[in-house]
Amino acid sequence: MAAQQKSLKKKAQHLGISIPKGILLAIGGKESKSEEERPESQEENNSFISEQILKRFVKELKGSSPLVLVIPAASSDPEPIAQDYIKLFRSLGAENVQVVDIRTREDAKDPEKLKMVDKAAGIMFTGGDQLRLTSILGGSPFLERIKERYMKEKLVVAGTSAGASAMSTNMIYKGEAQGGMLKDEMSSTAGLDLLKNVAIDTHFIDRGRIIRMAQAVAQNPGCIGIGLEEDTAILVKNGVEVEVVGSGLVTILDGMDISSTDIYEIASGDPFTIYDLKMHLLGNGKTYTIPAFNKDLT
């Protein structure tokens, strides 16, 4: 692994490409499985995750008494979920936890909140609605400060459910959970762009989201689709090196070698076709290198 990292950094330097020094932890979320308790929308999902994943988050933090920032901006009711994460992190030994309450784009310009980012060792985006999150933070000084530190320092940035979906370049924010086979049954927009040339979807197997992800990949085959099951996460180092953490599976859809697709020819509402779409299924501890970061680096 050390030799691979050295080779990656050498090629990146030669090509003038910056490799982030920070770490990303994208988590598939966790919710009740009973039909009576199943939420009607993603906003109602509490996104609780196992100790295994949060322990890994805490383990990756740098420094003495590292500061963890909880950002519940994706939620319409941020206070309860923020307090839950404070309790969870403190139970795992991370005592220095603060909440950054951002509800408007004006909040995302607050100099005091930017100072909090400067002091943080780790950042946790909670679940909720990813479109709310990107609409509030997209292009803001707060997000730009996070990106700057992620690129230059050992900052750990985590997100669960909506917080994970928003991390990627291409963000799926709407679609038929059990469908997606018809053109335009899913909608996507720009995410927070922390993980380059990737689209992330969460609650992936439980909600049957593989077809809607395939449609996202068909629309842009250079974008790798990563589906995260509940209680399962990807830990990403150097912007491309993926490690699976958790009890479920990570599904990877690679469309870079698709031989043909009719997604651009068919009418809205028609089923789409893809030939030679590649899929990987990865369990706990397995690794994968994202090829879309730059094909010359892999």
- Catalytic machinery residues: 161, 203, 230
What does each C-alpha distance from 297 to 160, 199, 224, 235 come to in angstroms?
A: 28, 19, 15, 19
Place of tokens 């220095």: 96
Helix (H, G, I), strand (E, B) or coil at 165: helix
Token pair recorded at residue 281: 């299924």
- Total Cβ atoms within 10 A of residue 172: 24
- What CA–CA distance (Å, rounded) separates 137 from 43? 17
| Rg over CA atoms, the chain | 18
**Chain length of the chain:** 298
237: exposed, middle or buried (Cβ count in 10 Å: 0-12, 13-18, 19+): middle
Task: Say which residues have a Cβ less than 8 Å from residue 140's Cβ, sequence separation at least 6.
Answer: 105, 108, 109
